């Protein structure tokens, strides 16, 4: 019997990685639907290649273009995520949630009841909406697999016996393109330099987040939520090669270091084939890298944005949404060449002190709309300020 699959965000980096894996084993998979925002050309190309009968394209202009194409009559085209029940008649085997940004939260939450397993690469769901995601996972008895390499490494290493035995987890960070750049040169960083990650091939937004180290801040918050830890149980270590992804110290004295190549195929492959004996051909253990793991503490002067971790509330709140939304807006301004790279961290640390923003440390979201409306409010407020 074929494994039934759906992909939220199939035209992005994670979605494309997953389709490459499925392509090598097409006879054993049936893709019920693919989704994208604007990239309708690639979406149609994917749908034809994998014989997909349903697609969701959320950008209305792109949707209209596809609807006018008479050659696509054999494909059902939807414009939003309210039509899951028209596509999925009973629980499918696997969903990949790989939509970038806060827009991925609601569809991620809503599709949980339609699948036995959900692999989530959407950071915003796990940071801002974990309360709702966790509740829905438990209610629907759906298996959750995190796809970030660090969280997947931790998840893969744990079982029921040692899950509650964690003393400390270290997430590793490559340091991005500016690890060795002198601090006095940060003001001259160019657009292309910020997007040129030395180890990973990623989208523009996450590349910038990696360069500022905000991506690692997000991953600490995710790990706190996913593994039910306190911030004091989590730390960041710089590891330039990105060969070690996590270090887990247990209360019984045992420490695990989880290693794998800088290849997102590994967590994605293991998520879709979880529970099977499918073998992935990978590189041999790199002895040279093992002998030079070289972990370091973060240089706070170079990566000041990481200081926000000391101000995060332990209790789940809307402040996580403030952090995500403020950073998203500033990175967007940088990508649109309206602010400099070094301004991202400076402005973030300036705006995050706002009394209005800090009051959300005491406010817990009661519904998803609390998160999405606050996200829009932060964006509008910051964009209205003359920077």
What is d(CA 111, CA 174) in angstroms, rounded to the nearest whole number? 33
Domains of the chain: 3-147 (3.40.50.720), 149-262+283-308 (no CATH), 313-387 (1.10.1740.10)
Judged against a pLDDT cut of 70, whether residue 200 lies above it is answered with no
Q: pLDDT over 90 for what percent of the chain? A: 79
How much is the pLDDT for 129?
97
Other beta carbons within 10 Å of 346: 14
Other beta carbons within 10 Å of 355: 6
User: Residue 56: beta bridge partners?
Assistant: 35, 78
292-347: pLDDT as tens digits:
999 999 999 999 999 999 999 999 999 999 999 999 999 999 999 999 999 999 99
Going by pLDDT thresholds of 50, 70 and 90, the confidence category of residue 177 is confident
205-243: pLDDT as tens digits:
888 999 999 999 999 999 999 999 999 999 999 998 889
Give phi and psi for 7, each to the nearest 5: -125, 120
What is d(CA 55, CA 7) in angstroms, rounded to the nearest whole number? 10
55-84: pLDDT as tens digits:
999 999 999 999 888 778 889 999 999 989
| DSSP states of 33-87 | EEEESS-HHHHHHHHHHTT-SEEEE-SHHHHHHHHT-GGGTTSEEESSGGGHHHH
Give phi and psi for 160, each to the nearest 5: -60, -25
What is d(CA 233, CA 169) in angstroms, rounded to the nearest whole number? 6
Q: Using the 8-state DSSP alphabet, how is residue 351 labeled? A: H
Helix or strand or coil: residue 333? helix
Helix or strand or coil: residue 306? helix
Q: What spatial distance separates the first Cα and last Cα of the chain, rounded to whole Å?
A: 57
How much is the pLDDT for 191?
83
Going by pLDDT thresholds of 50, 70 and 90, the confidence category of residue 275 is confident
What is d(CA 270, CA 171) in angstroms, rounded to the nearest whole number? 20
Global pTM reads: 0.93
How high does pLDDT run on average in the chain?
93
How much is the pLDDT for 160?
65
Other beta carbons within 10 Å of 188: 11
What is d(CA 215, CA 345) in angstroms, rounded to the nearest whole number? 12
Strands 29-36 and 54-57: parallel
How much is the pLDDT for 98?
96
What is d(CA 229, CA 162) in angstroms, rounded to the nearest whole number? 13
Question: What is the arithmetic mean of pLDDT over 344-365?
Answer: 96
What is d(CA 153, CA 337) in angstroms, rounded to the nearest whole number? 35
Please name which of 319, 343, 318, 316 lies closest in space to residue 329, comparing C-alpha atoms. 343
Question: What is the arithmetic mean of pLDDT over 26-45?
Answer: 96
78-136: pLDDT as tens digits:
999 998 999 999 999 999 999 988 999 999 999 999 999 999 999 999 999 999 999 99
What is d(CA 173, CA 178) in angstroms, rounded to the nearest whole number? 12
Other beta carbons within 10 Å of 282: 12
Judged against a pLDDT cut of 90, whether residue 161 lies above it is answered with no
169, 247 contact by CB (below 8 A):
yes
Question: What is the arithmetic mean of pLDDT over 345-362?
Answer: 96
């Amino acid at each position: 019997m074929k494994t039934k699959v759906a992909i939220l965000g199939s035209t992005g980096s994670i979605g494309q990685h997953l389709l490459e894996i499925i392509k090598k084993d097409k006879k054993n998979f049936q893709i019920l639907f693919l989704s994208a925002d604007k990239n309708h050309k690639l979406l149609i190309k994917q749908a034809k290649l994998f014989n997909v009968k349903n697609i969701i394209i959320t950008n209305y202009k792109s949707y209209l273009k596809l609807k006018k194409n008479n050659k696509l009559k054999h494909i059902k085209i939807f414009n939003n995520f309210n039509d899951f029940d028209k596509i999925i008649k009973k629980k499918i085997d696997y969903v990949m949630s790989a939509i970038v940004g806060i827009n991925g939260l609601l569809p991620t939450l809503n599709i949980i009841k339609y699948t036995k397993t959900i692999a989530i690469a959407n950071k915003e769901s796990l940071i801002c909406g974990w309360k709702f995601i966790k509740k829905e996972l438990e209610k629907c008895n759906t298996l959750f697999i995190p796809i970030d390499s660090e969280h997947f490494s931790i998840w893969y290493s744990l079982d029921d016996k040692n899950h509650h035995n964690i003393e400390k987890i270290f997430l590793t960070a490559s340091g991005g393109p500016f690890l060795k750049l002198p601090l006095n040169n940060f003001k001259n960083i160019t657009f292309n330099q910020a997007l040129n990650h030395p180890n990973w091939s990623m989208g523009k937004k996450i590349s910038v987040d990696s360069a500022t180290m905000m991506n690692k801040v997000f991953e600490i918050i995710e790990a706190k939520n996913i593994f039910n830890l306190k911030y004091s149980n989590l730390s960041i270590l710089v590891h330039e090669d990105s060969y070690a992804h996590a270090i887990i110290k247990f209360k019984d004295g045992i420490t695990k270091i989880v290693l794998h190549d800088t290849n997102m195929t590994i967590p994605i492959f293991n998520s879709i084939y979880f529970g099977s004996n499918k073998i992935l051909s990978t590189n041999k253990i790199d002895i040279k890298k093992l002998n030079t793991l070289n972990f370091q503490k973060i240089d706070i002067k170079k990566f000041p944005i990481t200081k926000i971790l000391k101000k995060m509330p332990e209790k789940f709140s809307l402040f996580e949404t403030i952090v995500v939304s403020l950073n998203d807006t500033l990175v967007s301004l940088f990508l649109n060449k309206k602010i400099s790279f070094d301004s991202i961290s400076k402005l973030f640390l300036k705006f995050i002190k706002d009394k209005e923003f800090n009051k959300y440390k005491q406010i817990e979201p009661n519904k998803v709309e609390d998160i999405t409306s606050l996200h829009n409010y932060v964006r509008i407020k910051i964009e209205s300020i003359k920077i």
